[in-house]
Amino acid sequence: METRSAKKRKLSIFYSNNNNNNEEEQQPGNDYISELPDAVLHHILFLLPIKTVAQTSVLSKRWRSLWSTFPDLDFTTFNPVATISHPNGSRKSHAHSSHSHSSNPKGIDFISQILTLRNKHSDIRVLRFRGRLSFSRLNGMIRRAIRHNVQELDVDVATDDYFNFPRCVIASKSLRVFKMRSRYPGFRLAPTSIMKSGFQSLQSLSLSLIILYNQPSLSDLFSDSSFPLLKKLSLDACFGLKILNVGCRALEDLSLENCFQLQCLEISCLKLERLRVASCFDAYIARSWVKIEAPKVRSVVWEYNAVTDGCFVVNLSGVEEASVGFFVLQEHLSVPKLQTVSNLLMALSHVRRLTLEIQCVEIISNNNYFAVYLQPFNNLESLELHTGFNKNNVPGLACIFKSSPLLRTLILRIINDYKIERRKWNKDLWDMSATEEEQYWESQAETLKSFLHNLKVVKIHGFLECENEVSLAKFLLKHGKALEEMTLCTGRCKARDSLRRQKIRSQIMGFSWASSNAKITIQ
């Protein structure tokens, strides 16, 4: 009969032999994972960092083959010290941090070797890398990826000088997604005649830091003939760009940012669903305009853009959410620029969720033009306003409220400028005579009747118990018949102010309430 110690010794020898044997000596049927199809194993490996995937190549010939045919190469996940295996099974150590590896030429050398030694019959589904390298090396790496029928190519590069857009990308028939983020000094596009000859299979294009001083107009590039399948387009930091026309029939998502010299923008996309334009347009020129035709757009973000002299918007009745803000050089705008702001807000009059940035609120507050021309938002359910909430903002806020008759949720974010002194609320003085702000809000009660009878939720962020904001809170409590919830977020406060704040809180709780269901939360 076998003793317990002998049995333990036999099991120890068995496991030791199994660990030391190479793949030819392993008994068949024990390694169930290796017997899975390549596609299944590739899917499992896709969930791991590229370093871990590469290290599996030393396990056996089977796993070496998996590494050399692995379709998803994301080299942006390198660890600070990476010991990675080449497709031929050898191991090589690269010491670099994830932050600084972009400037480490050894990292780029390694990626180049991976692409060179890769199985020539294996396609690449995804290739992502970042680094500092010359244009010739960048072009060579992209060419090798194109030869492997890469479908998604994501490149984040820095060079010592300007470089040209890789022409091999233009003619690729396999590429579906192309992202190129360039660091200073940026890259130039190929001539429009060459750019228009390709991209027949591209579905998503993202370009950053493009130098266009030699071709300031892209009026005929983004068309049906050049990009017949393009669904997503993102352009960031197009220096020198003055005229841009976008008319791709399949486009669903358009993002345009940091194009400060833009003068004319025309968008005509019948399938567009999401539009983002931020930090664009030249505020120093005499004439600029924008034209938008996007009947299916659902989301619009128009933030920190200079106000153009003309705005022509056709049929945005399907917009559900929007955010609007402007960059304004001077307090008083010309009539054409005021008309531009009015036209844009009018085009968004069917929106259900709306955010107005601080400059937009300032424009409405400082110009009587909008007391006449601000179109009602009859479908608006949720409104978020960013405001400095100074004395001049009060009429503008009342104008916006009057244009939101069916509003359910009001979110007010007070942007506190501590350089501007704001009067603290003093209840004792209020008992003697109502403040100017309180008198104004009371004078608006009748015109705001519909707004007050539908408003259910109010949230005020940056609440510092100053006269303006306390007057509004008191007015909404006094006349808000449908009010269910009011939240006042005071943020951090100094210890010496805590007693005063507690006193003010108890006084606010003692205001007259029109709704018996209302609840006040002070955070």
Instruction: Kindly state the tokens that stand for 175.
Output: 């590429």
pLDDT digits over 84-116, tens only?
A: 344 444 444 433 333 333 445 567 777 888 888
Q: Considering the domain boundaries, does residue 41 fall inside one? A: no
> pLDDT: is 416 or 304 the higher one?
304
Mean pLDDT of 388-406: 89
pLDDT digits over 221-276, tens only?
A: 999 889 999 999 999 999 999 999 999 999 999 999 999 999 999 999 999 999 99
Specify the DSSP element, H or E, that contains 157. Answer: strand 152-158
Name the residue range of residue 395's domain.
Answer: 376-523
Q: Considering the domain boundaries, does residue 394 fall inside one? A: yes
Q: Considering the domain boundaries, does residue 500 fall inside one? A: yes
Q: Considering the domain boundaries, does residue 222 fall inside one? A: no
Q: Considering the domain boundaries, does residue 450 fall inside one? A: yes
Going by pLDDT thresholds of 50, 70 and 90, the confidence category of residue 427 is low
Antiparallel, parallel or unpaired: β 81-85 and 91-95: antiparallel
Residue 187's closest CA among 160, 168, 169?
160
Q: Considering the domain boundaries, does residue 404 fall inside one? A: yes
Specify the DSSP element, H or E, that contains 506. Answer: helix 498-509
Residue written as tokens 């001077």?
Answer: 330
Residue 144, C-beta contacts closer than 8 angstroms, at least 6 positions apart: 112, 115, 116
Q: In the chain, how many domains are there?
A: 1
* 131 HSE (CA, 13 A, CB side): 23
Instruction: Point out which residues pair with 485 in neighbouring strands.
Output: 457, 519
Q: Considering the domain boundaries, does residue 516 fall inside one? A: yes
Q: Considering the domain boundaries, does residue 183 fall inside one? A: no
What are the phi and psi torsion angles at 288 (to 5°)? -145, 155
How does the average pLDDT of the chain come out, rounded? 81
Instruction: Point out which residues pair with 473 in neighbouring strands.
Output: none
Find the DSSP H helices in 28-154: 38-45, 50-55, 61-68, 105-117, 135-147
What are the phi and psi torsion angles at 4 (to 5°)? -65, -40
Residue 292's closest CA among 252, 220, 354, 347?
347
Determine whether 296 is exposed, middle or buried from the number of CB atoms within 10 Å of its CB (0-12, 13-18, 19+): middle
pLDDT, residue 418, reads: 59
What is the DSSP annotation of 193-244? HHHTT--SS--EEEEEEEE-TT--EEEEEESTTT-TT--EEEEEEEET--EE
CA distance 382 to 460: 14
